[in-house]
Structure 1
Amino acid sequence: MTARFPYKPRRHQLEVAKIISEQIKRKSIVLEAPTGFGKTPVVIHALLPFLEKGGRIVWAVRTGSETDRPVEEFKVFREKAGVRLVALGLRGKKDMCLLAKRFGENLDYSEVSYICSREKSRCPYYKKLREGVDLQLLIDKGALTYSEIYSSASAIGVCPYFLQRELLRVADVISLSYNYVVDESLSWSVKGVFPFKESILVVDEAHNLQNLNLGGDTITEGTMERAYREAEEAKDKEVAEFIEAVHREVLTRYGKLEEEESDIFSPESLLPGNYERMLVRALELGERIREKRFKEGKRPQSSLYHFSTFFETALKLQGVEGIAHIVEKLNGRIYLNIWDMRAGEILSSVWKSFKRVIFMSGTLAPVEAFAETIGLRDYYVITVPSPYDETNASVYLVKDLTTRGEELSIEMADKYVKAIVKTLSRIKRNTAVFTASYRVQSRLVQAGLLDKAESLGYEVFQERRDMTGVEASEMLRRFKALANTGNGLLVAPMGGRFAEGADYPGEELMCVFLVGIPFERPTTKTKLYIEYYQKLYGEEKGRFYAYVYPAIRKASQALGRALRGPRDQAVLILGDYRYQNYIALFPDYVRELARPITHDRLDAIEPPWDRVKL
């Protein structure tokens, strides 16, 4: 290693960095390491020799909001280890266009791209950038987050997006969302300036890759209703009648679906006989509506345009292996989905466009399953043992609780509430109840969970399906703020925004109670997914990859929220007897520490902080 590791090394960190540095010359790498290990600095340290020889790194994260994390880590290497390389946090036009702010808030990518394409030639910010900007002041900073690039561009009145692209030419490391790697319609804009073939790709939180819906799209009843109103306002009676006919057919065929139930739809069966001509006409009208709104200084959106492009895509993809057209009911409304299950097939070609790839996460086991589902063939596995033991965690597997079956019975819901209340009365620390689904969560609420928790002095925070990002962030802030008093209770589904991706270090979360196993309901959608995987991998393995593996991964992610570092302590409760069948798939500390218990004994559990203070 040519540069000093900027932290006091934790156990195994330098050893793993050395292995990565050696093996990456020959193969791609799958790194499974627990939360708190410090995967990001270890990988950066391992790749410094590659960078110093002129190599480049693409660091892919799950969402745009996470792009600054690797860059901040790179700043530490620059300041403490003397590394003199350029790292950038990269965002798309949606987050970087100054001109788009004139058209409203929360515009989507297509709307901002539309504005940029129409205004670029006369955009004052783009024009000023083309006149010339001294990039050296920014380059000298070495590591620039997205917000730093945005604020610097705003201060001098140039386009942040295209300034970012100028900086790409001199960058050694870029951090961006998965979309800019896996979606060809987006990746071209990056790799034309930052050659992927000369780069090592690092995929952070790589367990998310299997669920990417790469060619998908969705419209709702709301989309159809708004499209109808747009056609009415445009006084195009024929298009309005066409939209109304499609909406009526959707409701006739699928209006009686139960909540969360799904079915297959054929795009052609929903469209009237003359649909080819009418889709073209509806698309043209939608385009004119976008144009009119744009000229009026309004957001250039059109539900009619989205409706038309959705059905054009659905028709084009009909019959393609791995593509399903799914209709489902959520919150009482009908959703039409183009669902792309071909993650492995599509991603296998993506990895070949890089020199090497490093995949890292805390929940990749079994690695063979992970590798097959993302189309990875030749790789070297590094598995880091967990630093957690009985001083960090008390793990209990409840033998007489389960969410098995189509519905959670009143008796079982009451048992769960009793078990959670006993746990809360014993723990008296910030706790998360992560449920198998919103449906299960609703049953617990009906059984009185919230009232009983509040009677114990807990302030309850419940995730809703329709929550906005702003609402979720504020709720999370308020929950974490109760760390000192320890009287916060978070109730949310596994696989949701609070059970994956969120960090709760220290005393912010000290108990996790899993209510059931987050298996997908046996709907048409689930059955199609399993059948497709069975065609790819065989009957037994296909069911495991499509059904069992994703559920246990969600459960493992949820448990991991409470242990973010070697000094964290938590009580972890696996609230379903079926977890015993899958215990081998959990992280090592869960396997080793899990003890059986019955639900009526949970007020006698032993928290690790009663044994030792870390």
Structure 2
Amino acid sequence: MRIFLNERKVQLSVTEFSEFKIGPSDRITWGMGRRRSKIGQKWHRELQKTAQEEFPETSFEIPIKGDLRYRDWTVSLHGRIDQLVTGKRFSTLREVKTIGSDLPQNDKILLDSYPSYFLQLSVYFLLAQKDPRWESRNLSAELLFVDISSGFIQRVAFNKKSHAIVNHQLENIHWFLNQRWNSHQRLEKLNYRKPFPKLRQGQKETCDRLADLWENPELLIFEAPTGFGKTGLVLERSLDSLRRRTHERVVFVTGKSTGQLQIVRQLEEMLSGRKDLSYLQIRNRIEHRISSPRHTCGDGLTCRENITDRWAAANICPISLFQNGTISLEQIKSLGRETGICPYEITRSLLPFADFIVADYNYLFGPPNQSLLFHIPGFDPASTLLVVDEAHNLPTRVTDSLSHSLSRQAVERSESELKFSNASSNLLRSYSELIYFLNSIQEPGELNTDLQYELVVLIENIIESLQYSPPPVDLLSKNTRDELWHYFEILEFLNDDSLSRLIWSTGLDFIYLSCLGAPLQIANTLERFSKVVLMSATLSPKNYFYGLCQINPEDSTYLQAKAPWRKKSYDVATDLRVNTSYQSRNLYYFTTAATASAMCGESTTPVVLFFSSYQYANSISKLINLKFPHLRIALQPRKGELLDREHFLKKNLSHSDLLLLVIGSSYSESIDLLGGRVSHAMIIGPALPEVNIVQKFRMKALSEIPRNEAFRQVYQIPALIKINQALGRLVRAPGQKVKVLLHCQRFNQDSYRSLLDPVYQSQLTISSDESLNDWIQS
């Protein structure tokens, strides 16, 4: 859907028109919405053949377009009619629809079950009546429903009274368009505060440069150190774009919930209570869960059961919920308890009316969730500004979202449930064949071509069985339903030759489908938007990042902000006394523990130790407890929700001597509580990725370049980006200072040192306990 507000015109396909709806739907179709099913294609071909044998002049996939004028708006429609059956004195528009329900059924039941199909046919008929190609023909129209289980075909003739449902839909769209027009008028008066009362050194030049580059449609890559204020500067430009109507909507995505909260907090400070902007942060489904007398969020089915009728009865008007500019998650959950509507469905209903959306990467780049944004009524990427924060994390997050695994035990559990639910014999047979295949994989390593092909066939068989004879979902657990959906994603992964991938097994009843890179998928998503800004504190080395996202330097602009004050904020030394490589680190455990104790002796704040793994941190923690029992140690938990992480840091920044964090975890990155509150820190080794089959395959894929360059790309660059991120969190403003010890002799090698931020590239080395003490006390 494309809305041209100044022209009071909307362009959309006939399918979009017929499926337009504000509010949730309770329809579940096994994979039909993801891609046009092979079953549907098969029936379309067979019915084309039958129609042409009976009426040789019949044509197929006929393009049609036209305008419908409704009140003060023009609705411009386009689409393709499945069949135009042509006889001597008549022409019949025919739409073919494959369904999973048993046929025959009463026409009224079909209308109630599939209203969008009848609406689609009605629109085609209206457009055809205006088309000069058929003005002399006796036009009629019909729907052909095909029961994919039995092959039964039911014909439903078009009723000219169906024009009423077209007018009803036009009224719905007219109301929505007027709301967007009202938003347009409101945003022209948008007022907001400057993000900073006074610009610091480096900010003024960057602010001016951003203003110049913002009008350029090229991709903008913005690198600025942590604490520079890049979020505020970009928010200012984004709000200005909305006010000037350069963009109709802003989508701001980041990889972690802490980053989203920071964006929302700064946005609220700039808006200062004004209600001109409708904005919304999308929290994940789990955070929306409630348990109340009227509704309890359970396995997903209960949330959508009869949701269309319940939504109508609840009489929720989504746009009215923005009366204060936004609505909090707690307010949404409270409304869910009051009305009996799942809070996540309420959030989804709010999205069409949000001018500014803050969300996780998954809602744009993750296959299971990306439809949430792209299917918003009125959402047009071509008129939307996209800002990707913490963009250095984007390639990894996308590859993770595209990766999958298969477990024999999980498949066997699902098979037992399917047997209990009387699933079709075809589906059960397909499951048995998959289990037999998983049992046969005994050797660890990459699956050969023959085994990969066999896996594709097995997954295709399961999907075909699902589409021909869907199981009764109400008898299945959430885990089994999720697994069935998962097969559609797995098949897309297996059939997508643009992905760099590895299919391998541990030899222990597991198969892993690892995505190693998805640059084309990232590039294709970014290209859909009117303007894209990728920003981060750690996008260097540029060429490496460009390759991961398939960015053409000639089609992009790179802006690197300068913060001269940072040079005096870090006192960095490299410790040559230890080697923290996996094979050698245990030889230096005591040196590491003693060094941490020595730094505590000179620090008035907790000393932060960054480790490559939780296991490593735990080993040092135990040794410090044993050898230096007077020190209060806080070791980060392995996992934790946002509030748990903030509580852990706030508490232990005040009550601990040593704070042990894992590099790359949510405790060390995207939490800004450390800035200015830590005076001493240790980086315990370069934190290279684990050596495993995936990393070995990455190295093998780069066999055409020198091995040291391959090692740099696969191991060193990802590790040093995380270290740069962790160190950047320690200083966020002028006047803050920190001593950093790079605790491993490898940091003195040029291949490692050159990948550090220039601010951390010190020539000072520690070769003895005496030189350590001299540096600490200096």
TM-score, length of structure 2 as denominator length: 0.64
From 196, 199, 208, the counterpart of 1:7: 196
Change (3 A) 1:103 1:572: farther
Answer yes or no: is 1:478 the counterpart of 2:655. Answer: no
Change (3 A) 1:575 1:228: farther
Q: Secondary structure at the match of 1:586?
A: coil
| Aligned equivalents of 1:396, 1:170: Cα separation in 2 | 53
Answer yes or no: is 1:461 the counterpart of 2:635. Answer: yes
Is residue 295–residue 340 contact of structure 2 (8 Å, CA) maintained in 1? no
| Aligned equivalents of 1:142, 1:314: Cα separation in 2 | 39
Cα drift, residue 301 of structure 1: 2.4
Answer yes or no: is 1:365 the counterpart of 2:540. Answer: yes
Is residue 396–residue 572 contact of structure 1 (8 Å, CA) maintained in 2? yes
| Aligned equivalents of 1:269, 1:379: Cα separation in 2 | 42
Match of 2:105 in 1: none
Change (3 A) 1:542 1:416: same
Answer yes or no: is 1:67 the counterpart of 2:260. Answer: yes
Q: Secondary structure at the match of 2:729?
A: helix
Change (3 A) 1:304 1:395: closer
Answer yes or no: is 1:493 the counterpart of 2:662. Answer: yes
Single out whichever of 507-516 and 225-234 deviates more from structure 2.
225-234
Is residue 205–residue 361 contact of structure 1 (8 Å, CA) maintained in 2? yes
| Aligned equivalents of 1:21, 1:414: Cα separation in 2 | 53
Is residue 201–residue 358 contact of structure 1 (8 Å, CA) maintained in 2? yes
Greater RCO, CA 8 A, separation 6+: 1
Change (3 A) 1:410 1:14: closer
Answer yes or no: is 1:336 the counterpart of 2:522. Answer: no
Is residue 78–residue 142 contact of structure 1 (8 Å, CA) maintained in 2? no
Change (3 A) 1:552 1:483: same
| Aligned equivalents of 2:332, 2:295: Cα separation in 1 | 22
Is residue 384–residue 529 contact of structure 2 (8 Å, CA) maintained in 1? yes
- Give the aligned residue type for 1:178: Y
From 21, 31, 49, the counterpart of 2:211: 21
Change (3 A) 1:484 1:495: closer
| Aligned equivalents of 2:498, 2:567: Cα separation in 1 | 51
Cα drift, residue 352 of structure 1: 0.7
Please list the CA deviations of residues 426-470 of structure 1 after superposition, one character each: whole Å capped at 9, or x if unmatched: 436323322223454465467x244335x1321332443xx4x34
Change (3 A) 1:238 1:605: farther
Q: Secondary structure at the match of 2:253?
A: strand
Change (3 A) 1:463 1:595: farther
Single out whichever of 500-509 and 306-315 deviates more from structure 2.
306-315
Please list the CA deviations of residues 361-390 of structure 1 after superposition, one character each: whole Å capped at 9, or x if unmatched: 111112232222112222222222345547
- Give the aligned residue type for 1:84: D
Is residue 460–residue 489 contact of structure 1 (8 Å, CA) maintained in 2? yes
Q: Secondary structure at the match of 1:201?
A: strand
Q: Secondary structure at the match of 2:574?
A: strand
Change (3 A) 1:579 1:210: farther
Match of 2:56 in 1: none
Answer yes or no: is 1:522 the counterpart of 2:713. Answer: no
Cα drift, residue 265 of structure 1: 3.2
Please list the CA deviations of residues 513-547 of structure 1 after superposition, one character each: whole Å capped at 9, or x if unmatched: 22211222333210222344667x99776553333
Answer yes or no: is 1:376 the counterpart of 2:565. Answer: no
Match of 1:296 in 2: none
Larger Cα-atom Rg:
2
Please list the CA deviations of residues 454-499 of structure 1 after superposition, one character each: whole Å capped at 9, or x if unmatched: x1321332443xx4x34x8546623431323442432x43222222
Please list the CA deviations of residues 585-608 of structure 1 after superposition, one character each: whole Å capped at 9, or x if unmatched: 2223212x562113634761556x
Q: Secondary structure at the match of 2:234?
A: helix
Answer yes or no: is 1:168 the counterpart of 2:351. Answer: yes
From 356, 366, 374, the counterpart of 1:183: 366
Q: Equivalences for 1:239-250 in 2 at 5 Å?
A: 245-246=436-437, 248-250=439-441
Cα drift, residue 197 of structure 1: 1.1
Q: Equivalences for 1:436-447 in 2 at 5 Å?
A: 436-438=612-614, 440-441=616-617, 444=620
Answer yes or no: is 1:399 the counterpart of 2:576. Answer: yes
Change (3 A) 1:484 1:305: closer
Single out whichever of 416-425 and 218-227 deviates more from structure 2.
218-227
Answer yes or no: is 1:135 the counterpart of 2:303. Answer: no
Please list the CA deviations of residues 18-43 of structure 1 after superposition, one character each: whole Å capped at 9, or x if unmatched: 21121021122211111111221111
In structure 2, runs of 5+ residues without a counterpart are 1-189
TM-score, length of structure 1 as denominator length: 0.79
Is residue 192–residue 272 contact of structure 2 (8 Å, CA) maintained in 1? no
Match of 2:226 in 1: 35
From 227, 247, 265, the counterpart of 2:447: 265
Is residue 404–residue 490 contact of structure 2 (8 Å, CA) maintained in 1? no
Is residue 611–residue 685 contact of structure 2 (8 Å, CA) maintained in 1? yes
Answer yes or no: is 1:200 the counterpart of 2:378. Answer: no
Percent identity between the two aligned chains:
18
Q: Secondary structure at the match of 2:478?
A: coil
Please list the CA deviations of residues 144-163 of structure 1 after superposition, one character each: whole Å capped at 9, or x if unmatched: 44444444565566554454
Change (3 A) 1:10 1:601: farther
Please list the CA deviations of residues 136-183 of structure 1 after superposition, one character each: whole Å capped at 9, or x if unmatched: 4x3332244444444456556655445444443333211111111223
Match of 2:475 in 1: 292
Change (3 A) 1:143 1:570: farther
- Give the aligned residue type for 2:597: V
Is residue 286–residue 305 contact of structure 1 (8 Å, CA) maintained in 2? no
Q: Equivalences for 1:10-159 in 2 at 5 Å?
A: 10-11=199-200, 12-26=202-216, 27-54=218-245, 55=247, 56-63=249-256, 66-79=259-272, 84-91=276-283, 93-96=285-288, 112=300, 114-122=301-309, 124=310, 126-128=311-313, 131-133=315-317, 135-136=319-320, 138-151=321-334, 154=337
- Give the aligned residue type for 1:417: A
| Aligned equivalents of 1:486, 1:442: Cα separation in 2 | 16
| Aligned equivalents of 2:457, 2:367: Cα separation in 1 | 33
Number of equivalences: 572
Q: Secondary structure at the match of 2:720?
A: helix
Cα drift, residue 325 of structure 1: 1.3
Answer yes or no: is 1:216 the counterpart of 2:400. Answer: no
Match of 2:55 in 1: none
Please list the CA deviations of residues 261-306 of structure 1 after superposition, one character each: whole Å capped at 9, or x if unmatched: xx3235964989995798569979997485214xxxxx53228945
Cα drift, residue 94 of structure 1: 4.8
| Aligned equivalents of 2:280, 2:605: Cα separation in 1 | 39
Is residue 513–residue 575 contact of structure 1 (8 Å, CA) maintained in 2? yes
Q: Secondary structure at the match of 2:272?
A: helix
Q: Secondary structure at the match of 1:522?
A: coil
Q: Secondary structure at the match of 1:482?
A: helix
| Aligned equivalents of 1:3, 1:103: Cα separation in 2 | 39
| Aligned equivalents of 1:225, 1:450: Cα separation in 2 | 46
| Aligned equivalents of 2:653, 2:667: Cα separation in 1 | 16
Match of 1:302 in 2: 480
Change (3 A) 1:209 1:478: closer
- Give the aligned residue type for 1:512: A
Please list the CA deviations of residues 198-232 of structure 1 after superposition, one character each: whole Å capped at 9, or x if unmatched: 11111011110121224211244663564476478
Q: Secondary structure at the match of 1:351?
A: helix
Change (3 A) 1:420 1:286: farther
- Give the aligned residue type for 2:282: L
| Aligned equivalents of 2:655, 2:357: Cα separation in 1 | 41
| Aligned equivalents of 2:271, 2:346: Cα separation in 1 | 22
Match of 1:259 in 2: none
Is residue 530–residue 547 contact of structure 1 (8 Å, CA) maintained in 2? no
| Aligned equivalents of 1:583, 1:422: Cα separation in 2 | 25
Single out whichever of 502-511 and 228-237 deviates more from structure 2.
228-237
Is residue 217–residue 338 contact of structure 1 (8 Å, CA) maintained in 2? yes
Answer yes or no: is 1:422 the counterpart of 2:605. Answer: no
From 545, 556, 561, the counterpart of 2:713: 545
Q: Secondary structure at the match of 2:673?
A: coil
| Aligned equivalents of 2:287, 2:323: Cα separation in 1 | 24
Change (3 A) 1:92 1:58: same
| Aligned equivalents of 1:539, 1:101: Cα separation in 2 | 63
| Aligned equivalents of 2:293, 2:551: Cα separation in 1 | 41
From 674, 687, 697, the counterpart of 1:505: 674
